[in-house]
Structure 1
Amino acid sequence: MRRAAAFVALLLCLYWTRAQGESGGLTENDVTQIEVQSEILGVKATSDQTNITPDIWAELKELRDMVIQHSVELRNSKSNIEKLEQENTVLEARMNASDNKVEQLERENTDLEARLNTGEKVMEELQRENTVLEARMNTNENEVEELQRENAERPKVAFSVGLTDAGQVGPFSADITLKFSKIFTNIGEAYNPSTGVFTAPVRGTYYFRFNALEAFGTDKLVGIKLYHNGKQITLSYDRVVSNGYATVSNAFVLQLEKGDVIYLDLQTNCSVYDDSKNRTTFSGFLLFAM
């Protein structure tokens, strides 16, 4: 009966020990109490050892040793748990720092993406503008090429001539066509210095101008007629007085057909003067073909 009571008490101690371990571990006082209880049970058991077999006492001693060993292991586990908790705290701090860094990088990445999107939009706009400019440039180039072709195909006509270096010409008893022998410009060879006649090479609008001088005498007359195909366009007329000089000049824009002729006649009883200073001149050029 006593043996059974001692065995029950030991089992209660083991149960209590297990409960303490599950609730957070054994303290040193708990281990000491277990050892004292084990010794008391040992004493009680000794008083009755004459009635208990040696195998039961050996098993009880083995159980006691196991309880003590478990208590030591629990203390070690508690230390390991505390160490792991500390390491976990450090890891959590590092993790939080990493999370903050990730958030910062995400914000920076968002900002970079917004800037990149803005840059792409600007680039697209510039590309559109460049496309428009290229189209306009191509159009302008085509227009320039067309103008160059038209200009190349368009006849180039211009002349500027002087009368003579000999001095005075005239007066004559009849009108004469003035033959301007000094050629300054004769593009297109439309003016003939042998006849004094300009012949229109193409149908178009032309500009003509003349200037004449008479000097060194009194009562000298200067009179220049402009003719178009034998039709008088104008008469420019003046008189020299008091041994001075007189000048006449005029200009016209005329529409001519191909083959039309323009020339200057010196009027009857009139004279003109010219020398190396080119006092009497005749010029004209094509404004545009028609």
Structure 2
Amino acid sequence: MILVWRYLCFIIFLQSVSCNTDNDIILDVISSRLDHISISLARIARKQRVMETRIDSITDNMKGRDLTDGKKEDVVSDYSDGAAKEELLIMKRAISSEKEYVRNLVESISVDISGRIAAVKTPSDDLDSRIAAVEATSDDLDSRITAVGDKIAAVKATSSNLGNRIQSMEKGMNTVKATSGGLRTRVDSMESSITSLVSAAERRVSFSVQNRPRGNLAILKGETTVKFNHVFYNDGSGYDKTTGIFTVPVSGVYQFIFFVEGWQSKDEFICQAAILMLYVDGSSAETVAIADPRHKNQIIQAGNTYINYFSKGQEVKLSTADYCDEYSIFDFGTTFSGVLLY
């Protein structure tokens, strides 16, 4: 009975321990050890039954004999001193041996379980410290989450304000779009005016020049370009006084006006006239001005006009004729002018 109570107490102890340890590890150890205990208890029970059977057999033999008191003592002594006594001793020793084996198994299980519990407690301490660290981290996360929540609330407030401002801007944009049509029309008109002004500025071409030789008279050979050395006006920079040539800067219709003043210094009437001819790109335009004095010291002025379409880059000039070897050209009265009409 004592052994059974120990066994029950040990089972309760194992149940309490298994609540805080690894059930798989402990139960493996318990299962193997309990198998040995169960086998030993079964052997003890068998031997106890054998002893009971043997004692019952001896008792039945003694009852079946008619023994006097003296003979009964002899029979008892025979059984006590004989084979029965020896057999009982062997059984008692076997039972004691089995009990000792069971006791040793229980103690070894207790020692093994204690070691394993101690081994389990060490990681448990580490788990406690890690749990404490996790709790501290959780507190920090809570504070950070709270801070993030405050920021989100601030962002929502700002977002609402931005939404109102965006709506106001959209209304302004709609107003601008409504008026942009008229503005675009005005801008187009201004651009057209600017283009016209630029075009008109580019097409402003005119010049006016005069011949001012040293003294009052210039003697020029035949077929000589007259270099009008005094420039009154040269809008468009088409005239070059170093060459006497006007280069057309803009294509269009031009008007050219020129005058020549001649002076007869002798009574001879051979080559007394001052003759200038208009040339375009080196060819005569068949336009001539002839100043023809008829007596000595007479001054005569003549002129002509030429209108035509000219392309950009064409060259226009005045030259003396090829009728005489030289011509007398009087100063100030010999001029050359040109203007772009359209």
Q: TM-score range by the shorter chain?
A: 0.3 to 0.5
Richer in helix (by share): 2
TM-score (norm 2): 0.40
Q: Greater strand percent: which structure?
A: 1
Using the size of structure 1 for normalisation, the TM-score is: 0.46
Greater RCO, CA 8 A, separation 6+: 1
